[in-house]
Chain A
Amino acid sequence: MPEPLLSVRDLRVHFQTEDGLVKAVDGISYDLMPGGALGIVGESGSGKSVSSLTVMGLTRSSNARISGEVLFEGKDLLKAPNEELRRIRGNDIAMIFQDPLSSLHPFYKVGAQLTEAIRAHNSVSKQAARVRATELLGMVDIPEPVHRLDNYPHEFSGGMRQRVMIAMALSNDPRLLIADEPTTALDVTVQAQILALIRRLQDELDTAVVMITHDLGVIAETVDDVAVMYAGRIVEQAPVQTIFGAPEHPYTWGLLRSIPRLDLPRSADLVPIPGRPPSLINLPGGCSFHPRCPYVRDRHRKVDPPLEAVPDDPGHRVACLLEPETRRKLWRELQAGQAPEQARAAVEPEQAPEGEPAA
Chain B
Amino acid sequence: MSDAQPLVEVRDVYKHFPLTHGVLLQKQVGAVHAVDGVSFDIKEGETFGLVGESGCGKSTLARVITRLHEPTSGSVLFRGQDISGLSSRELKPLRREMQMIFQDPYSSLNPRKTVGSIVGEPFAIHGLLPGHGERKRAVQDLMEQVGLNPEHYNRFPHEFSGGQRQRIGVARAIALKPKLIVADEPVSALDVSIQAQILNLLKDLQSELGLTIVFIAHDLSVVRYMCDRIAVMYLGKIVELADSEALYAHPRHPYTGALMSAVPVPAPGKTLQRKGRVLGGDVPSPTNPPPACRFHTRCPKCQELCTLEEPLLEPKEGGNVAACHFPLTDAEVAERSPRTAGAVPGSG
Chain A residues packing against B (C-beta within 8 Å)? 43-44, 157, 159-160, 187-193, 195-196, 199, 214-221, 240-241, 244, 254-264, 266, 270-274, 276-277
Check if B338 is an interface residue, CB within 8 A of chain A: yes
Contacts of A264 in B (CB 8 A): 339
Contacts of A199 in B (CB 8 A): 275
Check if B194 is an interface residue, CB within 8 A of chain A: yes
B254 to nearest A CB, angstroms? 12
Query: Closest chain A residue to B298 by CB distance?
Result: A189
Complex Cα distance, B199 from A44, in Å, reads 19
Query: Closest chain A residue to B51 by CB distance?
Result: A188
How many B residues have CB within 8 A of the partner chain? 47
**A266-B224, A266-B244, A276-B161 are known contacts. Are A254 and B279 too (CB-CB below 8 A)?**
no
- Cβ contact within 8 Å between B264 and A260: no
Check if B54 is an interface residue, CB within 8 A of chain A: yes
Contact of B265 among A190, A241, A262, A277 (CB under 8 A): A262
Residues in B251-307 with C-beta less than 8 Å from chain A: 258-272, 275, 278-280, 282-283
- Cβ contact within 8 Å between B193 and A220: no
- Cβ contact within 8 Å between B279 and A189: yes
- Cβ contact within 8 Å between A262 and B221: yes
Check if B220 is an interface residue, CB within 8 A of chain A: yes
Interface centre among B195, B224, B261, B267 (most CB of A within 10 A): B267
Complex Cα distance, B53 from A277, in Å, reads 30
B276 to nearest A CB, angstroms? 9
Check if B150 is an interface residue, CB within 8 A of chain A: no
Query: Closest chain A residue to B56 by CB distance?
Result: A187
Complex Cα distance, B266 from A219, in Å, reads 7
- Cβ contact within 8 Å between B193 and A43: yes
- Cβ contact within 8 Å between B264 and A255: no
Complex Cα distance, B188 from A214, in Å, reads 12
- Cβ contact within 8 Å between B267 and A260: no
- Cβ contact within 8 Å between B259 and A217: no
Complex Cα distance, B279 from A47, in Å, reads 34
Check if B218 is an interface residue, CB within 8 A of chain A: yes
- Cβ contact within 8 Å between A188 and B222: no
Contacts of A218 in B (CB 8 A): 264
- Cβ contact within 8 Å between A272 and B283: no
The 5 A-B residue pairs whose C-beta atoms are closest, nearest first, are A217-B264, A272-B196, A260-B225, A258-B196, A192-B262
A213 to nearest B CB, angstroms? 10
Contact of A193 among B54, B220, B280 (CB under 8 A): B280
- Cβ contact within 8 Å between B197 and A272: yes
Contact of B266 among A159, A192, A261, A271 (CB under 8 A): A261
Query: Closest chain B residue to A195 by CB distance?
Result: B264
- Cβ contact within 8 Å between B193 and A263: no
Chain B residues packing against A (C-beta within 8 Å)? 53-54, 161, 163-164, 191-197, 199-200, 218-222, 224-225, 244-245, 248, 258-272, 275, 278-280, 282-283, 338-339
Contacts of B244 in A (CB 8 A): 266
- Cβ contact within 8 Å between A220 and B191: no
Complex Cα distance, B62 from A168, in Å, reads 39
Complex Cα distance, B164 from A26, in Å, reads 27
Complex Cα distance, B117 from A145, in Å, reads 55
**A193-B278, A276-B163 are known contacts. Are A254 and B265 too (CB-CB below 8 A)?**
no
Contact of A273 among B193, B266, B278 (CB under 8 A): B193
**A191-B264, A258-B192 are known contacts. Are A263 and B270 too (CB-CB below 8 A)?**
yes
Complex Cα distance, B259 from A257, in Å, reads 23
Interface centre among A157, A260, A262, A266 (most CB of B within 10 A): A262
Complex Cα distance, B195 from A192, in Å, reads 22
Query: What are 20 contact pairs spanning A and B, CB under 8 A?
Result: A43-B192, A43-B193, A43-B194, A188-B53, A188-B219, A189-B259, A191-B264, A192-B264, A192-B279, A193-B280, A199-B275, A221-B264, A241-B268, A244-B266, A259-B196, A260-B222, A261-B267, A263-B270, A266-B225, A266-B248
Contacts of A257 in B (CB 8 A): 196
Complex Cα distance, B275 from A221, in Å, reads 10
A354 to nearest B CB, angstroms? 33
- Cβ contact within 8 Å between B193 and A159: no
Known: A221-B272, A244-B266, A277-B191. 8 other contacts (CB 8 A): A188-B53, A188-B219, A190-B282, A241-B269, A255-B192, A266-B248, A272-B193, A272-B200
- Cβ contact within 8 Å between B53 and A262: no
- Cβ contact within 8 Å between B191 and A214: yes
Contacts of B220 in A (CB 8 A): 188, 262
Contact of A191 among B191, B261, B262, B267 (CB under 8 A): B262
Contacts of B282 in A (CB 8 A): 157, 159-160, 190
